[in-house]
Amino acid sequence: MSLKKYLYSFITILNFQEIHSEHYLLSNLKDNSGREGVVIASPSRSNPNYYYHWVRDAGLVVREYVEEYKYTSDLSLKRDIRRFVQKWIQVEIEHQRTAGESWANLGEPIFTVDGRIYPHPWGRPQSDGPAIRALTMTEWALLMIQEGREEDARKLYGGKIPAEGPIKKDLEYVAHHWFESNFDLWEEVKGVHFFTLMAQRIALVKGADLAAYMGDHGASDYYLRQADRIKSVLNSFYSAEKAHLIPTINQVDGWKNKVSELDTASILAINYFSFDDVYSVDSLAAQNTAAQIVDVFRNLYKINSDKPNLAPMIGRYSEDVYDGNGFSGGNPWYLTTHAMAEYLCRRDLSKERTSPNLKKIPFSGWQFLERSASLADSKGHFSEQADRVTGEPRGAADLTWSYASYLRAIRVCKRAGVPLGTN
Ligand code: NOJ
Ligand code: NOJ
């Protein structure tokens, strides 16, 4: 194939997948009755049943729309996003009210589409949820201020004790509970987590900005002090001996199978929450962790080792056994593969770039996206996972986060201006 033809096929598959991802993502932003603002994790109602609103997934997905709002000049798209974000905020205000009465409090991770607490035993609390929710709302409020819609922002923050606005409610929860053990984003391990602390720190730092703007100076100082304490705890997550970040310290409960302590959640955390040079994309910790993750998954799954010249599909962690419905063995996930793509493009965007002494990852961000897009079916559907041997869809179909993570990575990679098809 000529280089031109190769690049052309590459662009088409990525564009095709982008259009489909936008479309399938949109249809997951409401429930079956058309109630908007609910973000279903997936339309799948059995084997597995993911027809629920996870606070984490929803907050991350809406945050992607907030980013899109920032960059687009399309006024009707802006209007649609504004309407949708407001609906999501209404839904989360209800969730906060309901969760306030449960033992997990605002760390309640899952709600039914009609706003009830997930009625089964589960890994509770999950403290990344309120942090991500506060972060997304805070970024939205700051945008509204910039646009002269200060009243909207004021309602969202609501600066009183007891906190009345949804942002301040979550910030108070984060500031007072961040050091308590809770379940990780994969809902398996109870302890103190890198992903969660990174989310909590950025939520508090940005929240402190908003608090100061609202004249709530005492709260602002308090949030910043907690953010600083989190920053010092974050220092203990890099193992110089292992030369990678570890996902959890002080485990008190949950699964104990992650003996490698290498987890793609660390890369997700850096992409989503790295701020003011704390574990930036070009830190030694980030680069070493990413390189080791690529190495591990290249050799772990047959679909990867069969095609060593293609970018490998990336999983959560090597000991994973969750197959998306049961426990027959782990598979690569779309959202973690997209996270590796996003990471590499972010690193290319960053001024520092790779230090010459570090182990190089022999694939570009675009190549990870291309690999992932090539495994979607002919209509561009992404599920949660791809079979480790055949590449067939596994786990929840049309996982909302799979689409949002693809669009996010594409956005970052386009901005990075990395030429297609280069390393
Ligand atoms: C479902 C969770 O969402 C998944 O992450 C986990 O691996 C399994 N349950 C096992 O707890
Ligand atoms: C399982 C994943 O482990 C978790 O991170 C996610 O929130 C839920 N599925 C819903 O997508």
Q: How far is the CA of 188 from the centre of ligand 1 (A)?
A: 6
Give the per-residue pLDDT at 134.
98
Give the per-residue pLDDT at 101.
74
Assess whether the C-beta atom of 186 lies below 6 angstroms from ligand 1: yes
What region does 391 belong to: left with phi over 0, alpha with psi -120 to 50, or beta?
left
pLDDT at 422 over 50: no
Average pLDDT over every residue of 92-102: 91
Which residues are CB-contacts of 193 (< 8 A; sequence separation ≥ 6)?
Answer: 128, 182, 184, 185, 247, 248, 265
Q: How far is the CA of 185 from the centre of ligand 2 (A)?
A: 7
% of the chain exceeding 90 in pLDDT? 88
pLDDT at 75 over 60: yes
pLDDT category, 341, cuts 50, 70, 90?
Answer: very high
Q: How far is the CA of 34 from the centre of ligand 1 (A)?
A: 28
d(CA 398, CA 321) in angstroms, rounded, equals: 21
Question: Which atom of ligand 1 is the closest one to the Cα of 320?
Answer: 7
pLDDT at 143 over 70: yes
What region does 100 belong to: left with phi over 0, alpha with psi -120 to 50, or beta?
alpha
pLDDT category, 279, cuts 50, 70, 90?
Answer: very high
Give the residue, out of 60, 195, 268, 384, with the most ligand 2 atoms within 8 A of its beta carbon, to mutate for a pocket test. Answer: 384
Q: What is the pLDDT of residues 29-48, one digit of tens each?
A: 999 898 999 999 999 999 99
Assess whether the C-beta atom of 41 lies below 6 angstroms from ligand 2: yes
d(CA 54, CA 48) in angstroms, rounded, equals: 14
Give the per-residue pLDDT at 161.
77
How many other C-beta atoms are found inside a 10 Å radius of the C-beta of residue 77? 13
Any idea which of 122-126, 358-362, 402-406 has the lowest mean pLDDT?
A: 358-362
Average pLDDT over every residue of 11-38: 93
Average pLDDT over every residue of 229-250: 97
Q: What is the pLDDT of residues 248-276, one digit of tens each?
A: 999 999 999 999 999 999 999 999 999 98
How many other C-beta atoms are found inside a 10 Å radius of the C-beta of residue 235? 10
Domains defined along the chain, listed by start: 1-30+279-423 (1.50.10.10), 52-256 (1.50.10.10)
d(CA 140, CA 360) in angstroms, rounded, equals: 37
pLDDT at 358 over 90: no
**Structure-block tokens of residue 376:** 């979607």
d(CA 7, CA 12) in angstroms, rounded, equals: 9
Q: What is the pLDDT of residues 202-216, one digit of tens each?
A: 999 999 999 999 999
Q: What is the pLDDT of residues 145-181, one digit of tens each?
A: 999 999 999 999 987 777 889 999 999 999 999 999 9
Q: How far is the CA of 184 from the centre of ligand 1 (A)?
A: 10
d(CA 355, CA 283) in angstroms, rounded, equals: 9
At which residue do the structure tokens 């989310």 appear?
199
Contact between 409 and 338 under an 8 Å Cβ cutoff? The reply is: yes
Average pLDDT over every residue of 46-71: 97
Give the per-residue pLDDT at 350.
87
d(CA 5, CA 39) in angstroms, rounded, equals: 39
Give the per-residue pLDDT at 423.
39
- Alpha carbon 272 to chain centroid, angstroms: 6
pLDDT at 364 over 80: yes
Higher pLDDT, 34 or 90: 90
Higher pLDDT, 27 or 2: 27
Residue type, 69: Y
pLDDT at 6 over 90: no
Q: Which residues pair with 245 in a beta bridge?
A: 238
Q: What is the pTM of this model?
A: 0.96
Higher pLDDT, 2 or 46: 46
